[in-house]
């Protein structure tokens, strides 16, 4: 069983992957580690490619009772039986997404390093707020979300917070006490053995 006080893992897919091989790797990851949620985050705008990837990932995730949300593509959530959407524009689309998807869907919002956007997203109905990057990354504006923001959030705000962007073992150790989730993607998919690399990152949480 996972430590109740330890952050949960929010797994982000690679920006591109082969449908012939990635679902099996994803299945191994979910079987080896306790994953709270998966974000399908493809770089392509091709709807057919995204749809086929969504169907393949949904089958793997739902067989293991893991939620699957899609990055930005609100209109594909219901069409492909997904659990919700991850919005990249702070609080701006949260209310509309909640209205479109209903009360049971997962609606998350990436708010960079903005306390103001994060609070607005929570008030608009977001289930979680993602802040980052916490490491050196081009995510969002590239400006790092400071430890103090997470520390304040964990003490003052009930909406769960996700830390993401260029995670390292040291950053995971540092931020583990002040975040509810770590969004992990590129940190593991580039490794020779992504499942083993995920184990190293989880171990760093303490």
In this prediction, residues 176-192 reach a mean pLDDT of: 97
Task: Look up residue 145 and give its DSSP letter.
Answer: P
pLDDT of residue 60: 98
pLDDT of residue 139: 80
Residue 13 DSSP SS3:
coil
Distance of CA 73 to the CA centre of its chain: 15
Can you tell me the distance from the alpha carbon of 120 to that of 193, in angstroms, rounded to the nearest whole number? 39
* Residue-wise pLDDT tens digits, 7-51: 999 999 999 999 999 999 999 999 999 999 999 999 999 999 999
pLDDT of residue 142: 79
* Residue-wise pLDDT tens digits, 122-179: 999 999 999 999 999 888 787 999 999 999 999 999 999 999 999 999 999 999 999 9
φ and ψ at 128, to 5 degrees? -155, 160
pLDDT of residue 160: 98
In this prediction, residues 111-119 reach a mean pLDDT of: 97
Residue 4 has pLDDT above 70, yes or no: no
Domains defined along the chain, listed by start: 8-203 (3.20.20.70)
Residue 3 has pLDDT above 70, yes or no: no
Q: Are 117 and 141 in contact (CB under 8 A)?
A: no
In the chain, % helix, strand, coil (3-state, to 5) comes to 40, 20, 40
pLDDT of residue 55: 98
Q: Are 131 and 162 in contact (CB under 8 A)?
A: yes
Q: Which residues pair with 37 in a beta bridge?
A: 10, 67
φ and ψ at 37, to 5 degrees? -160, 150
pLDDT of residue 1: 34
Can you tell me the distance from the alpha carbon of 127 to that of 147, in angstroms, rounded to the nearest whole number? 21
Q: Which residue would you say has higher pLDDT here, 33 or 5? A: 33
Q: What is the mean pLDDT of the chain?
A: 96
H/E element, 144: none
């Amino acid at each position: 069983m996972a430590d109740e006080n330890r952050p949960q893992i929010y797994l982000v897919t690679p920006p591109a992957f082969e449908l012939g091989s990635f679902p099996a790797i994803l299945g191994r990851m979910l079987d080896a580690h306790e994953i709270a949620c998966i974000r399908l985050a493809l770089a392509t705008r091709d709807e057919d490619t995204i749809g086929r990837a969504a169907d393949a990932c949904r089958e793997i995730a739902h067989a293991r009772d893991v939620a699957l949300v899609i990055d930005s593509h609100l209109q594909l959530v219901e069409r492909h039986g997904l659990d919700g959407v991850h919005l990249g524009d702070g609080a701006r689309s949260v209310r509309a997404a909640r209205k479109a998807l209903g009360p049971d869907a997962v609606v998350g919002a990436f708010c960079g390093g903005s306390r103001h956007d994060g609070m607005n997203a929570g008030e608009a109905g977001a289930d979680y707020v993602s802040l980052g990057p916490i490491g050196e990354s081009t995510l969002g504006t590239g400006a790092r979300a400071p430890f103090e923001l997470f520390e304040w959030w964990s003490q003052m705000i009930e909406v769960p917070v996700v830390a993401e962007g260029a995670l390292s073992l040291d950053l995971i150790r540092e931020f583990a006490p002040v975040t509810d989730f770590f969004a992990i993607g590129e940190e593991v998919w580039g490794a020779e053995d992504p499942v083993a690399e995920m184990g190293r990152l989880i171990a760093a949480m303490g």
